[in-house]
C-alpha cells in the first residue's frame, strides 16, 4: 500500500517527500516511489537548444531588449533615421561574446557530467557483481566500493597520470582506456560491511568540507556479519526508513529493519557522496539517495548573488537615463510639431509631405526616430566593458606574488570577479580568531595537576624566567615512542610522572583516552595522529611524550602504552562533543574491571558538574586558569567519575532506546549525557598555545589607520579573546576605555539585561556627550529615480578610541528587536568590538544587523566551517586556507593564505580597483552624453527632423573602436600612488568608504561637463564655418564637411580627457591612445574613399569629404580652438581645486614626486598580562565519537570496580619555586621592530 500512496500523491502533484522508504535488492519496490535517478546534469544547453535558450537568457537583460527594440525600429522606413547596422553590429558583437563565453562554460559542464556519470562501480544484480555506470545506479542497489575506482576517459586517449603513490594503472573496458585511481563515490550509501576489523572504514571528506584528515565510519553489527559473502547479500532484504533528502551534512536519522529487528541509523553509518575511501580494501553499501537527492547535491545550490554599490547605482542610472531619453525625445517631437505647423510649409517645395501624413502623425514618427538617433546615451557596451575591467583586476590579484604563501604553495585567488571595486570601500571587518588571526597550530604549553602548575621556570628567588627557544629542553629519550617534535622545558613534570604520581598518571591517562583521534602507524614506532582539531592532537601528543601513548583503537577497545606497559581498555560509550555541551566524555573499563567516565571540556561547563569535594581544588585550579587566560592560552578542564555497574546497565538500556528513536533523538541523548556527567572529580587543567600569524598586529594597525573598524567574532572565552586582542593591536592600552557586557550564567544574563539598555546609553555618553537618547535614523533614497526610501543608523561623532567586549549569552539578548539598535549604536561608535563565545548563527546575525542599519560595506574573514555563514552574509567574504579545511575558502569571494595579505588586498588592489572603476564610469558617461547632446543642438537647425549629425559609420565605431581601448587601459593599469605609498598612507583608503569618487553628484557633474563640451563642439565649428571658404574660394560649409569637423573635434576632446585622467602611464596606455587616434583617421579616409563608394554607394556616401575638409589650414585652426575651449576650463578648475582644497590623493602624489619611498614603522604589540577567569575555545563542528563505539557492547554487564586511586580528598599542592637548573643560554640578539 505504501508505494501506491506515494504514487497517488505524485499524481496529485504532491511531490514533497516527508520520509523515505526503500528495500535492499528490490528494484520494483523502490521504483514505485519514483525516486530521483543517479544521473547528474549540471549543463544548461545542448546542440539544439543552445541558440534559442541562450538568446532567451541574454534577452532577459534589460539593455539587450532595449537595443533589440531599437533594431526593430530601424527596420521601419518611416521612422528610421539611421541605418540598421549602426545598432545591429554592436548588438551582435555583444551577444556573440557572451554566447561564446556561455558555450565554453557549458561545454566544460558537459565534460564534467559525462566524466561523473560514466564512471563505473560494481553493483549486485541478480546475485552477481556487475560493472555498471554510476548514472544507472538506483536507490536500493547494493554496491561494492574499493580503494581504486575505474575512471572512463575518451576513447584512445592515454594521459600520463599517476596516483598519490606515484603509480598509475590502466585497463581496457569495451575499447575505452580507463585509469584506476582513488575517487569519491557518487551516491549516499548506508555502510553494510568492510574489509577492516569490526567493519570500520576510513574516508576522506575533502569534497564535502575541504578537510583531508581521515574520518571513521562503522557498519552495524547485523550487516557487518555479511562480510564479503555475495550469496548472503543476494538474499539480504533489509528495509530502511529514513529522513527525506536534505542538505544537512552532519545529521542523519533512520532505522534499518532486518528480520523483524529495528536498528538505529545515524550519520556515522552513512557514506555521503563526495567522500573517498582510504586505507580500506573494500566495503559494501546500500544506496539511500541518488543524483540530485544526495546531500552534496542538495548543498550545491546557487549562492546568493552579490552586487556592489556601483552595480546598484549603475542600474538606477541606466533607468534614469532611459527616462531622460524619453523626455528629450518628447520635447523634440513637440518642437517638430510646432516647426512643421509654422515653418514646414515653406519647405514643401523641396521636401513635399507624404500623402495621408498629418502633422501629429509626423511628430509621432519623429519621436521614435529620435529614440533611434539618441540611443547612444544608453550605452550598450557599458556592462561588457565593466566585466572586462573586473576580470582584468581579478587577474592582478591572482598574479600578485606579494600575496603568495610559499610554505603552502598558495596564491591569493579572486573566486568572484564581480566585487573587486567594493574591496576599496570596506568599513567593517568581521574576523574569526582561531586560524584567522592565529596559526591554529597548537602546542602543549602548561598544565595544572591536582592544584600544582607546570610549564613555568623559576630562578633561585622564586621569580619566573622567560622561556626562550634556545633554553634547554626536556629530554624524552627514555620514551622510545615520544614525538621528537614535541618541546617542553619544565623538567619537574617529567620527574613527577616518572616517580609514579597517581594524580599525574590519571591526568595523562585521561588525555590518552578521552578523544576521537585516529592513529596511523606507517612504520613500527612511527605514529601519526589524524585529529579532528589541532587542540586534540596537541593534548594526545603531550600524553604520548609523558609516557601515556595512545597506540590504537577499535570500536570496542583503546590501547594505551602506559609507562612502557601495554594496557587495553574496553570502550563502553562515547559522549560526544557538541556546541551546546561544550565537553566530551568517554566511559571505559580497565583490565581490572574498573568503570570510569573521563570528561574534558570548558571550565564553566565542567565546574558546574563537579562533586562538592572538589571545591578547594577548583579554587586553586581557577587561579591557574586565570593566569593561562591572561597569557592568551586556550584552556581545558579535566575530570573523572567512577560508575556503578547496576546504574550503568540501566543507563545503557535507555541510551539504546534513545539512539533508535526517529523523533527528538538528539534531545533524548543530551538528557542522558547530562544525567551521567554529574558529581565528577576534578583532575586539573591544560593550556595550549595558539600563536599569532606573522604580521597580524601590523596588518590590524594599518587597517585601523584606514578607518576600518574590526570586529572579532570568536568562540573563545572572553579572557582569551581579550588578551589575543591586545597581542594583535585590536585592543590597545591607549584606548580611552573598553566596555564589557558579559554574563556567565543564565541568571546573570537575565539580571544584566535589565541594566543593558542603561549601560549602552551610559557608554555612549562617555564616547559622545552630545549623543541623543534615541537613535538618529537618517533617511536615504534609492531605487528607480531614487523614489525608494530607506532608513539607516547615522554615525555619532566620537571623542577618542573605545572598545566593546560582549559574550554570546548577552549578545543573544542584545540582538533582540528592542535592543538591537541600542547595541549597534554603541558598537559602531567603538573602534573595536570583540564578541566572545558566539555560535556560527550569531556571527551571521551580527553581520546582518550591521548591513541592515549601516550604509557601509562589510567584509567577513574566516578559515573554518563555522565561519561560512558570516562569510556568505557579508558584502564580501574572504576565506583563509588554514588548518580547518577549505570549506570557508569554497564559500568565499576571495581566498588568502594568511591574514596579513588582507592589507594588500584592501589598501592596494581594492583601492586601485575602486579608483579605476570610478574613473571608467565618469569617462564613459562623459563621452556618451557629449556625443548625444550634439544631436540635440543640431535638432534646432534641421527642423527637428531627426537627421543624424554624424556619419553613420562613425556612430557605429564610436564606442566599439575609437574610444573603447584607451579607457580599458586606464581602467586596468591606472594608479594614483604605488603600493608602498598606499601602505604608508592608509588614509588614502577613506574616500572609497565615503563613496566620493562616483556618486550622484559626480554623475551630475559629468552631465554638466558633457553639456558644456557639446555646446562648444557644435557652436564653435558652426559659427566658424558659416562664412568660411577654401583656399580656392569654394565654400566648405556643407553638411558632410561639418560632420567630419565635429567628429574629429569630438575624438580629440574625449582622448584629451583620457590624457588628463591618466595618472600612471604604461606602454599599453600610449599604444591604445595614439592607436585609437590613428585608427580614427585611417578609417575615416578609408570610408570616404572612392573605392568603397563605387562598391557600396548607399552605405558610404561621404565621398572624398575627409581629404577635402582636413587638408585645409582653417579647419585645423577650428579644431584647435574648439578642443582648447573644451579642455582649458577643466585644466583650470583642477588646478584651482588642487591649490585651494587638495584631496588626500593630491597631497600624497605631491609628496611622492618630491620625497623618496618611506619606510613603514611597526608598532610593537601591546602586551597585557592579567589575572582573569579561564577560557576555552571550542570547535563548532560535531565530533565523531560515536563512530568509535561498538553499539553491541552497550548491552554487556561489567563488574564493579574501586576508585581510580585511593584518595578521600585532594590535598592542595603548594606552589613552591622549582629547583633552579643550569640553562645554557646565548646572549639575546637585539630585535628591531
Q: Which residues are catalytic?
A: 432
How many Cα atoms are found within 13 Å in the side-chain-facing hemisphere of 114? 9
Cα 1221–1223–1226 angle (5° rounding)? 165
d(CA 921, CA 308): 14
For cell 553494510, name the residue: 192
Q: What are phi and psi of 748, to 5 degrees?
A: -65, -40
Of the candidates 182, 173, 136, which has an alpha carbon nearest to the alpha carbon of residue 40?
A: 136
- Convert 778-799 to b/e letters by CB count within 10 Å (16 or more is b): eeeeeeeeeeeeeeebbbbebe
Q: Label the pairing between strands 413-414 and 200-205.
A: unpaired
Sign of CA dihedral 155, 156, 162, 168: positive
Q: With 0-12 CB in 10 A as exposed, 13-18 as middle and 19+ as buried, what is 145?
A: buried
Q: Label the pairing between strands 518-523 and 464-465.
A: unpaired
Find all residues with CB under 8 Å of 906, minimum gap 6, and list them: 423, 424, 426, 703, 706, 708, 859, 989
d(CA 169, CA 736): 68
Helices (H) and strands (E) in the chain, counts: 40, 40
Contact 640, 595 (CB under 8 A): no
Q: Phi/psi zone of residue 157: left (φ > 0), alpha (ψ -120 to 50 degrees), beta?
A: beta
Q: What is the largest CA-CA distance in the chain?
A: 125
Which long-range contacts link 1069-1074 to residues 24+ away (Cβ below 8 Å)? 1069/966, 1069/969, 1069/970, 1069/973, 1072/965, 1072/966, 1072/968, 1072/969, 1073/966, 1073/969
Contact 1076, 1012 (CB under 8 A): no
Query: Strand pairing partners for 242?
Result: 20, 254
To 10 degrees, what angle do helices 1000-1025 and 1113-1140 make? 150
Of the candidates 485, 481, 476, which has an alpha carbon nearest to the alpha carbon of residue 443?
A: 485
DSSP state of 67: H
d(CA 530, CA 515): 11
Helix (H, G, I), strand (E, B) or coil at 31: helix
Amino acid at each position: 500500500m505504501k508505494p501506491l500512496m506515494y504514487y497517488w500523491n505524485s499524481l496529485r502533484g504532491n511531490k514533497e517527500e516527508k520520509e523515505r522508504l526503500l528495500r535492499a535488492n528490490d528494484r520494483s519496490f523502490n521504483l514505485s516511489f519514483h525516486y530521483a535517478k543517479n544521473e547528474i546534469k549540471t549543463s544548461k544547453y545542448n546542440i539544439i537548444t543552445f541558440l534559442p535558450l541562450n538568446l532567451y537568457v541574454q534577452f532577459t537583460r534589460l539593455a539587450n531588449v532595449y537595443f533589440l527594440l531599437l533594431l526593430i525600429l530601424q527596420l521601419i522606413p518611416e521612422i528610421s533615421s539611421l541605418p540598421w547596422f549602426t545598432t545591429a553590429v554592436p548588438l551582435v558583437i555583444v551577444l556573440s561574446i557572451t554566447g561564446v563565453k556561455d558555450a565554453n562554460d557549458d561545454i566544460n559542464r558537459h565534460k564534467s557530467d559525462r566524466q561523473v556519470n560514466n564512471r563505473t562501480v560494481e553493483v549486485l544484480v541478480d546475485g552477481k557483481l556487475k560493472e555498471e555506470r554510476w548514472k544507472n545506479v538506483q536507490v536500493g542497489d547494493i554496491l561494492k566500493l574499493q580503494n581504486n575506482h575505474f575512471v572512463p576517459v575518451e576513447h584512445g586517449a592515454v594521459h600520463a597520470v599517476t596516483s598519490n603513490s606515484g603509480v598509475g594503472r590502466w585497463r581496457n573496458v569495451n575499447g575505452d582506456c580507463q585509469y584506476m585511481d582513488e575517487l569519491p563515490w557518487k551516491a549516499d550509501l548506508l555502510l553494510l560491511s568492510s574489509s577492516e576489523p569490526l567493519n570500520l572504514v576510513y574516508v576522506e571528506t575533502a569534497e564535502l568540507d575541504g578537510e583531508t584528515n581521515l574520518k571513521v565510519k562503522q557498519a552495524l553489527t547485523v550487516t557487518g556479519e555479511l562480510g564479503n559473502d555475495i550469496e548472503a547479500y543476494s538474499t539480504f532484504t533489509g528495509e530502511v526508513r529514513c529522513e527525506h533528502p536534505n542538505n544537512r551534512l552532519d545529521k542523519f536519522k533512520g532505522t534499518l529493519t532486518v528480520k523483524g529487528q529495528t536498528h538505529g541509523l545515524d550519520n556515522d553509518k552513512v557514506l555521503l557522496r563526495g567522500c573517498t575511501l582510504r586505507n580500506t580494501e573494500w566495503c559494501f553499501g546500500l544506496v539511500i539517495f541518488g543524483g540530485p537527492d544526495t546531500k552534496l547535491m542538495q548543498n550545491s545550490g546557487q549562492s546568493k548573488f552579490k552586487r556592489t554599490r556601483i552595480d546598484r547605482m549603475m542600474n538606477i542610472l541606466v533607468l534614469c537615463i532611459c527616462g531622460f531619453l524619453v523626455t528629450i525625445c518628447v520635447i523634440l517631437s513637440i518642437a517638430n510639431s510646432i516647426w512643421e505647423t509654422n515653418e514646414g510649409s515653406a519647405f514643401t517645395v523641396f521636401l513635399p509631405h507624404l500623402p495621408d501624413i498629418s502633422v501629429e502623425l509626423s511628430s509621432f514618427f519623429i519621436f521614435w526616430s529620435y529614440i533611434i538617433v539618441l540611443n547612444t546615451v544608453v550605452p550598450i557596451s557599458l556592462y561588457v566593458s565593466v566585466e572586462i575591467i573586473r576580470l582584468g583586476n581579478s587577474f592582478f590579484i591572482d598574479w600578485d606574488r606579494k600575496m603568495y604563501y610559499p610554505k603552502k604553495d598558495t596564491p591569493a585567488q579572486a573566486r568572484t570577479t564581480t566585487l573587486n571595486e567594493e574591496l576599496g570601500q570596506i568599513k567593517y571587518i568581521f574576523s574569526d580568531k582561531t586560524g584567522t588571526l592565529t596559526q591554529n597550530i597548537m602546542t602543549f604549553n602548561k598544565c595544572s595537576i591536582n592544584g600544582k602548575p607546570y610549564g613555568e621556570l623559576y630562578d633561585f628567588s622564586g621569580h619566573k624566567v622567560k622561556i626562550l627557544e634556545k633554553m634547554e629542553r626536556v629530554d624524552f629519550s627514555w620514551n622510545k615512542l615520544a614525538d621528537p617534535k614535541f618541546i617542553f622545558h619544565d623538567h619537574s613534570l617529567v620527574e613527577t610522572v616518572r616517580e609514579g604520581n597517581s594524580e599525574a598518571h590519571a591526568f595523562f591517562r585521561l588525555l590518552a583516552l578521552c578523544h576521537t583521534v585516529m592513529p596511523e602507524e606507517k612504520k613500527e614506532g612511527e605514529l601519526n595522529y589524524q585529529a579532528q582539531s589541532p587542540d586534540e592532537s596537541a593534548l594526545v601528543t603531550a600524553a604520548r611524550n609523558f609516557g601515556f601513548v595512545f597506540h590504537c583503537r577499535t570500536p570496542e577497545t583503546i590501547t594505551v602504552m602506559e609507562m612502557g606497559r601495554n594496557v587495553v581498555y574496553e570502550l563502553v560509550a562515547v559522549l560526544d562533543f557538541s556546541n551546546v555541551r561544550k565537553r566530551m566524555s568517554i566511559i571505559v573499563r580497565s583490565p581490572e574491571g574498573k568503570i570510569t567516565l573521563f570528561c574534558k571540556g570548558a571550565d564553566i561547563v565542567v565546574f558546574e558538574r563537579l562533586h562538592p569535594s572538589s571545591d578547594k581544588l577548583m579554587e586553586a585550579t581557577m587561579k591557574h586558569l586565570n593566569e593561562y587566560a591572561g597569557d592568551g592560552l586556550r584552556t581545558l578542564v579535566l575530570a573523572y567519575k567512577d560508575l556503578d555497574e547496576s546504574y550503568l546497565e540501566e543507563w545503557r538500556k535507555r541510551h539504546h532506546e534513545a539512539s533508535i528513536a526517529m523523533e527528538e533523538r538528539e534531545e533524548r541523548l543530551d538528557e542522558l549525557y547530562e544525567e551521567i556527567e554529574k558529581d565528577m572529580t576534578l583532575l586539573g587543567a591544560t593550556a595550549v598555545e595558539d600563536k599569532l600569524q606573522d604580521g597580524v598586529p601590523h596588518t590590524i594597525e594599518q587597517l585601523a589607520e584606514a578607518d576600518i573598524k574590526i570586529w572579532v567574532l570568536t568562540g573563545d572565552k572572553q579572557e582569551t579573546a581579550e588578551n589575543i586582542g591586545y597581542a594583535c593591536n585590536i585592543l590597545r592600552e591607549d584606548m580611552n576605555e573598553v566596555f564589557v557586557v558579559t554574563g556567565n550564567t543564565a541568571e546573570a544574563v537575565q539580571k544584566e539585561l535589565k541594566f543593558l539598555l542603561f549601560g549602552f546609553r551610559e557608554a555612549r555618553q562617555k564616547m559622545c556627550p552630545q549623543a541623543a537618547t534615541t537613535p538618529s535614523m537618517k533617511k536615504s533614497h534609492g531605487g528607480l529615480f531614487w523614489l525608494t526610501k530607506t532608513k539607516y543608523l547615522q554615525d555619532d561623532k566620537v571623542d577618542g578610541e573605545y572598545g566593546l567586549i560582549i559574550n554570546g549569552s548577552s549578545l543573544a539578548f542584545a540582538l533582540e528587536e528592542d535592543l538591537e539598535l541600542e547595541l549597534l549604536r554603541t558598537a559602531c561608535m567603538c573602534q573595536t568590538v570583540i564578541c566572545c563565545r558566539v555560535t556560527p548563527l550569531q556571527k551571521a546575525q551580527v553581520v546582518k544587523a550591521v548591513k541592515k542599519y549601516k550604509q557601509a560595506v562589510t567584509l567577513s574573514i574566516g578559515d573554518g566551517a563555522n565561519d561560512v555563514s558570516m562569510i556568505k552574509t557579508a558584502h564580501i567574504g574572504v576565506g583563509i586556507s588554514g588548518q580547518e579545511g577549505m570549506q570557508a575558502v569554497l564559500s568565499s569571494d576571495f581566498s588568502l593564505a594568511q591574514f596579513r595579505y588582507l592589507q594588500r588586498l584592501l589598501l592596494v588592489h581594492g583601492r586601485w580597483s575602486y579608483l579605476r572603476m570610478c574613473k571608467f564610469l565618469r569617462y564613459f558617461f562623459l563621452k556618451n552624453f557629449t556625443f548625444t547632446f550634439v544631436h540635440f543642438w543640431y535638432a534646432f537647425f534641421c527642423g527637428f527632423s531627426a537627421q543624424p549629425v554624424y556619419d553613420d559609420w562613425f556612430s557605429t565605431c564610436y564606442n566599439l573602436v575609437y574610444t573603447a581601448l584607451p579607457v580599458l587601459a586606464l581602467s586596468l593599469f591606472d594608479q594614483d600612488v604605488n603600493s608602498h605609498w598606499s601602505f604608508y598612507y592608509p588614509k588614502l583608503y577613506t574616500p572609497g568608504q565615503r563613496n566620493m569618487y562616483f556618486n550622484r553628484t559626480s554623475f551630475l557633474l559629468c552631465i554638466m561637463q558633457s553639456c558644456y563640451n557639446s555646446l562648444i563642439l557644435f557652436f564653435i565649428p558652426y559659427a566658424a564655418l558659416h562664412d568660411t571658404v577654401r583656399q580656392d574660394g569654394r565654400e566648405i560649409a556643407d553638411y558632410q564637411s561639418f560632420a567630419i569637423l565635429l567628429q574629429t573635434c569630438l575624438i580629440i576632446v574625449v582622448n584629451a580627457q583620457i590624457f588628463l585622467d591618466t595618472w600612471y602611464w604604461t606602454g599599453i596606455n600610449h599604444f591604445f591612445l595614439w592607436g585609437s587616434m590613428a585608427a580614427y583617421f585611417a578609417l575615416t579616409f578609408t570610408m570616404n574613399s572612392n573605392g568603397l563608394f563605387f562598391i557600396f554607394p548607399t552605405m558610404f556616401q561621404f565621398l572624398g569629404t575627409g581629404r577635402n575638409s582636413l587638408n585645409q589650414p582653417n579647419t585645423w585652426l577650428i579644431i584647435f580652438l574648439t578642443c582648447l575651449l573644451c579642455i582649458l576650463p577643466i585644466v583650470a578648475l583642477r588646478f584651482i581645486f588642487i591649490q585651494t582644497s587638495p584631496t588626500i590623493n593630491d597631497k600624497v602624489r605631491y609628496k611622492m614626486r618630491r620625497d623618496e619611498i618611506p619606510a613603514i614603522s611597526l608598532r610593537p604589540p601591546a602586551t597585557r598580562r592579567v589575572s582573569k577567569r579561564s577560557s576555552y575555545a571550542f570547535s563548532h563542528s560535531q565530533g565523531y565519537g560515536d563512530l568509535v563505539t561498538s553499539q553491541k557492547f552497550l548491552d554487556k554487564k561489567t563488574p564493579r570496580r574501586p576508585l581510580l586511586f585511593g584518595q578521600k580528598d585532594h590535598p592542595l599542592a603548594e606552589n613552591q619555586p622549582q629547583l633552579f637548573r643550569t640553562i645554557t643560554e646565548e646572549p639575546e640578539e637585539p630585535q628591531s621592530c
